[in-house]
Structure formats: structure tokens, C-alpha cells
Structure 1
Amino acid sequence: MNEHSLGEFEELVLLLVAAHNQEAYGVMILELLEQKLERKLNISAVHVALKRMEKKGFVESSYGGITNERGGRRKKYYSITSLGKKVLDQQYQVRTSIYKQIPNLSFGQ
């Protein structure tokens, strides 16, 4: 398996991390994904994907300050790395090149 591989769910999470770079955190990503996909997801799936991508070097994390609203817990923020951006760019190129191979089909719409 390619060490720079990116599954579909990871790709979606990484796209949101890139879109909200340095301000992305687990719950925000979950809520945005649920809106875009129009279905309920599990926060654990988001956290697992983020940990996996951090291990691969696609994202980096840092902690925000302690807040009373979070009961003294710090929020963990994610940002995309240059490797993560490179992998996203490669994914985009592959998907776009395949999409462009689809003939101009009409289904009576």
C-alpha cells in the first residue's frame, strides 16, 4: 500500500482541514461533513482519520488555550502540511483526469 494513500473519507477530512487551515478541529469538521454529506457521522471516525493522517504527515496539530466553556480542556486544531497539500493535489489530478474521460452522455434530462 502506498504510504501516501488517501481514502475517500480521509480526503474529505483533509479538504476541510485545508479549507479551514489552523482553525479546523474535530467537531467543526464533523458538523461540516454532516452538512455536505447530508447524513450523521461519528466523531470517532473524524478523530481516527485525523490521527491517521497526522501519522502519515498530512496534517499537524496544536492545542488552543484553556477555556471555561470547554470545562478547562483545550481544543486541538489541525493544519495541512506541504505533503498533505501535495497528496490532495495528486488526488485532484487523478479524479479530474478520470472524470474528463466520461463521454458527453445525455439521459433525456
Structure 2
Amino acid sequence: MKKTKLGEFEELVLLTVAVLQEEAYGVEIKRELEQRLNEKLSVGSIQSALKRMEQKGFLTSEFGEATQKRGGKRKRIYSTTPYAHRVLSEMKEVRAGLWESLPRLASDLKTI
């Protein structure tokens, strides 16, 4: 795996962007993550993670069209890069390998 680090929260945000695709903008990312994690998150924490990942090359962004619903304000829509897909795939493999190395724990968790 490349030396660029991806923290746990960043990984969750990145996966959420990949899931949401064309709807991957700040408020919707926050809404999706809050629902999946069952906890409240700050907009700032999401925006900080998005900015860091864009700087690291995991994401790109562009402004969507202005809408009356948003008072003429445009959404910044995020997209994952091929680099992000590669890193996420590598992380999934590493995690799966670790789970497979813990057969007792893995089987105990399946019964929960």
C-alpha cells in the first residue's frame, strides 16, 4: 500500500462518496453517515475530511448547478478517483486478511 495514510473517518467518508455518486455533497454525505453510524456528526468534520482527501488525490470536486431551492447556492459535488478505488480495494483486502487470521473471533462475531 502507498504511504499516503487514510484514517478511519476518512475511509468512511470516502466510501460514502463512492456510494452516493452524483449526490455526494456535504449535507448528503453527513446525512448518510449519520444514518449508518447512528450518531451526530458536525458539518466541519465532514468538510475537513473532504478537503484533506481532495488534497491527497482521493477525491475531485466540482460545483453543481445553482438551484432556487438552495437560494441560488451551488453544491460542491465530490467524486472518487481511480487512486481512491485502488486504495479502498487494498484496504478491504488487508482487513479481510486480518479477519481471516482470527477465525475464532470472526466466527464468534457471526453469531451475534
Q: Please, what TM-score do these two structures have when normalized by structure 1?
A: 0.90
Question: Alignment partner of 1:60: what SS?
Answer: strand
Q: Which residue of 1 aligns with 2:43?
A: 43
Greater percentage in helix: 2
Q: Which residue of 2 aligns with 1:70?
A: 70
Q: CA deviation at 1:4?
A: 2.0
Q: CA deviation at 1:69?
A: 1.3
Q: Distance in 1 between matches of 2:98 and 2:90?
A: 12
Q: Distance in 2 between matches of 1:39 and 1:23?
A: 21
Q: Which residue of 1 aligns with 2:9?
A: 9
Q: Distance in 1 between matches of 2:102 and 2:32?
A: 29
- Greater relative CO (CA pairs within 8 A, separation 6+): 1
Q: Distance in 2 between matches of 1:56 and 1:6?
A: 9
Greater percentage in strand: 1
Structure 1 segments unaligned to the other structure (5+ residues): none
Q: Please, what TM-score do these two structures have when normalized by structure 2?
A: 0.88
Structure 2 segments unaligned to the other structure (5+ residues): none
- Equivalent pairs counted in the alignment come to 108
| Partner amino acid, structure 2, of 1:52 | R
| Partner amino acid, structure 2, of 1:22 | E
Tell me the C-alpha RMSD between the 2 structures.
1.9
Write out aligned runs for 1:52-91 (5 A): 52-91=52-91
